[in-house]
A and B are shown apart, each in its own frame.
Chain A
Amino acid sequence: MNINRDNYPNYVSSFLDHTLSTVEHAEFLLFLELNPDIEEEISEIGKLILDPETKDSYLLKELLVQPFDADAHHINLTNFEFYFAADAEGDLSEAGHQRIFEFAAHHPETNSTYLLMQRMRLEPDTAIIYPAKSAITKKATLVLRPWISGAAAIAVLFLIVEIFWALNPLQQNQTAQQSPATQQQQNTGNTKKPASATEKQRVQKVGADTEPKKARFVVKKTQPYTEPKTESMPIETPSEEPLINRVPSKGFLNKTSEPFNGNLRNFYSSLFDEIRDSQESFLASLENEPEKRILPRAGTGQRVNQILKSGAQIASQVPGAMNGWTIANLGLEGFNMLTDNNLKLKRIANADGRTQKVKILDGDAGYTIGRRHAGN
C-alpha cells in the first residue's frame, strides 16, 4: 500500500475511526510525519467528532414507560419535577401521592418546587370576549324535516279518511233498514239466497197491485211488517242469512238445455215438498176457520184481508180437502215470487177426475212430477 498526497483522503475517515489495519495505520502515521500540513489538517478534523457520552440525558423516561408510573416508584432528584407536575394534575395514585410526600420530606430542598407546581394553573381571562357575536348568529327559521312533513301528511290523510268513514251516508242507510224482500225471505224460511233486485221490485209491486189476477196467490208474511228504523234508533247491520240455495233462479232454468232428467226432477220434488210444508200449517188453520174480518195491523194493509179471503175461498171451493194440488199451487206461486219465474202447475186427470200426472210448465217446457211408489 502506498499512501501519498493524491490518495490520502481515502484513508482519513478510516484512520479517525480507528478501523485501519495495523500495517495501514503505521503507513498513514508515517505519511503524516512526512507531511506536517496534512497532519495538522487531520488533527482539526478529529476535533469535530462528537463524543457519544453526553451529559444531557432524557429526563422523561419515566413518563414514557408503559404503564405510567402512577405509584411514583422511580422518582429521584433528576425527575422529581415531572412527578410533582403529575401529582398536581391528579394523575398519581394514592400510593404515588404518599410517596411524593415522603420524597419531599427526605429532600426539603424540593418543597418549594412542590408548592410552586401546585399553583401552575392558568385561569381564563373572562375579560376577553368575542366582539362579533352578532355576525355569526343566525336567525331561527321553521324547518320541517322531511320525515316530519311526511308524518304530518299521513296524519291529515288518516283524519280525512276517518271523517269520511264516519259520515258515509250510504253505509248508514244500509245499516238502518232491511229490504222487504229480505224480510220476506227470512219469514218464509227461504233465506239461503239473497233476493235479486228484480225480486225486490216484484215484492213491492205485488203489494201495490190491486188488479184481480187469475189464480194468483201472494206469499204472505207470517210476521207483521216492521217499519224501517229511524235515524234516532241505533243503526244495526242486518244479518243477511243465506237463502235456500236449492231455489233456482229463472236463469238457471233457462240455462240448461238438457231434457228434464231424474236429478232435476228429484230436485223439484224436494222443492215441492218444502214449499208444501212451509204453507201447510197456515193453510190448515184457514181451512177450519170461518171467514172473519180481522183488523189490519200497521203496515199490512189489504194484504191480510186478501190472504184470508183467498184462503177461505179456497176452502169453500174445495170443501173438506186441501189436497196437495192446491198446496203445490200455492207453493209454486211462492217459488215464482222468490225466483222470478212463471211456473205453472198443470194437472192431468183422467175421465173420472182423478189426477194422473202433475206437470210444472215453464212456457213450452214441462216437468212431470210423480210420486215414487213403494217398491220402485
Chain B
Amino acid sequence: MTTAEYNLCVRNYSDGVYRFVLKNLKDEERARDIVQDSFFRMWEKLVDIKAEKAKSYLFTTAYHTMIDDIRRNKRQTTLDEVKTESLTTTHAYSDLQKVLSMALDTLPEIQRLVITLRDYEGYSYEEIGEITGLSESQVKVYIYRGRVNLKNYIGSLDTVI
C-alpha cells in the first residue's frame, strides 16, 4: 500500500471507525485515541497491508483495542439493568433512529458490537466473524438476539410516532 492509498483510507474510513468505537465506548476522547492508534498501526505495516484489506484491518484493530479498553474499564451494561417498561410505556419518540440509538446502549457488549458492524458498515457475517474472532453462526445468533432486544426495548410500534 502506498502513502497515497493510506491517505485515501484516512478520508474514507476514519469517520466509520470513529463512529463504531464511539457508539460502543461512549467516550469521545478514548474513541479518538483508538482511531489514531489503529491508523498508526496500519502506517507502521504499510508495505504489508494491501489497499483492499485496509478497511478490515482498521476495524479489526479498533475492535480489539476497544475490547481491551472495555474490559480494563469494566464498562459493561446488561439488559437486565435497564428498566425498559418505563421507556416503552410512558414516552413517545418521534425519531425511530434516536430510539434505536438509545436501545443500542442497553445491549450487551458483544451484541452492540456486531450490530454496529452489521448496520453501520454493512459487513457480512463472515467479515464480522473475521474482525471479532467469532464464527459465522455465533455472529448470526448475536445479531438475532440483539434485534430481539432492540425490539423489546422499543415496545409496541404505537409508541413511536
List A residues at the B interface (Cβ < 8 Å). Answer: 60, 63-64, 66, 68, 81-82, 85-86, 88-89, 91, 112-113, 115-117, 119-126, 128-133, 135-141, 143
Q: Are A60 and B7 in contact (CB under 8 A)?
A: no
Given known pairs A64-B141, A81-B148, A112-B157, the reply for A122 and B100 (CB within 8 Å) is yes
Q: Are A89 and B143 in contact (CB under 8 A)?
A: yes
Q: Which of B105-134 contact A (CB under 8 A)?
A: 115-116, 119-121
From A83, which residue of chain B is reached at the shortest CB distance?
A: B144
Report B78-114 CB contacts with A as 1/0, cut-off 8 Å: 0000000000000000001100110010000000000
Given known pairs A63-B144, A140-B7, the reply for A122 and B32 (CB within 8 Å) is no
Q: Are A136 and B10 in contact (CB under 8 A)?
A: yes
What B residues does A131 contact at CB under 8 A?
32
**In the complex, A344 Cα to B104 Cα: how many Å?**
121
Residue pairs across A and B with Cβ atoms less than 8 A apart, 18 shown, are: A60-B141, A60-B145, A81-B148, A81-B151, A82-B148, A89-B144, A89-B147, A116-B151, A117-B148, A120-B151, A120-B154, A122-B100, A122-B101, A122-B119, A130-B17, A130-B32, A138-B7, A140-B7
Q: Are B151 and A140 in contact (CB under 8 A)?
A: no
The residue in B4, B40, B157 that gathers the most chain A C-beta atoms within 10 A of its C-beta is B157
Residue B60 at the A interface, CB < 8 A? no
Q: Are B120 and A130 in contact (CB under 8 A)?
A: no
The smallest C-beta distance from A159 to any residue of chain B, in angstroms, reads 28
**In the complex, A124 Cα to B7 Cα: how many Å?**
22
Q: Are A122 and B116 in contact (CB under 8 A)?
A: yes
What B residues does A125 contact at CB under 8 A?
19, 97, 101
Q: Are A136 and B141 in contact (CB under 8 A)?
A: no
Q: Are B120 and A124 in contact (CB under 8 A)?
A: yes
Given known pairs A81-B151, A138-B6, A140-B7, the reply for A129 and B18 (CB within 8 Å) is yes
Classify the interface of chain A: helix, strand, loop or mixed: loop
**In the complex, A112 Cα to B155 Cα: how many Å?**
10
Given known pairs A60-B145, A85-B144, the reply for A136 and B119 (CB within 8 Å) is no
Q: Which of B1-15 contact A (CB under 8 A)?
A: 2-4, 6-7, 10-11, 14-15
What A residues does B156 contact at CB under 8 A?
112, 116
**In the complex, A140 Cα to B46 Cα: how many Å?**
13
Q: Are A115 and B157 in contact (CB under 8 A)?
A: yes
Residue B66 at the A interface, CB < 8 A? no
The smallest C-beta distance from B39 to any residue of chain A, in angstroms, reads 4
Q: Are B18 and A130 in contact (CB under 8 A)?
A: yes
Q: Are A116 and B15 in contact (CB under 8 A)?
A: no
The smallest C-beta distance from A373 to any residue of chain B, in angstroms, reads 95
From B38, which residue of chain A is reached at the shortest CB distance?
A: A136
Q: Are A120 and B100 in contact (CB under 8 A)?
A: yes
Q: Are B120 and A122 in contact (CB under 8 A)?
A: yes
Given known pairs A130-B14, A131-B32, A137-B10, the reply for A122 and B104 (CB within 8 Å) is yes
Q: Are B15 and A60 in contact (CB under 8 A)?
A: no
From A124, which residue of chain B is reached at the shortest CB distance?
A: B120
What A residues does B104 contact at CB under 8 A?
122
Q: Are A133 and B11 in contact (CB under 8 A)?
A: yes
The residue in A64, A91, A124, A135 that gathers the most chain B C-beta atoms within 10 A of its C-beta is A124
Given known pairs A63-B141, A85-B143, the reply for A122 and B36 (CB within 8 Å) is no
Given known pairs A85-B143, A85-B144, the reply for A117 and B16 (CB within 8 Å) is no
The smallest C-beta distance from B158 to any residue of chain A, in angstroms, reads 9
The residue in B2, B18, B40, B43 that gathers the most chain A C-beta atoms within 10 A of its C-beta is B18
**In the complex, A128 Cα to B22 Cα: how many Å?**
9
What A residues does B116 contact at CB under 8 A?
122
Given known pairs A122-B116, A133-B14, A138-B43, the reply for A85 and B147 (CB within 8 Å) is yes
What A residues does B147 contact at CB under 8 A?
85, 88-89, 117, 120
Residue B140 at the A interface, CB < 8 A? yes
Residue B25 at the A interface, CB < 8 A? no
What B residues does A60 contact at CB under 8 A?
141, 144-145
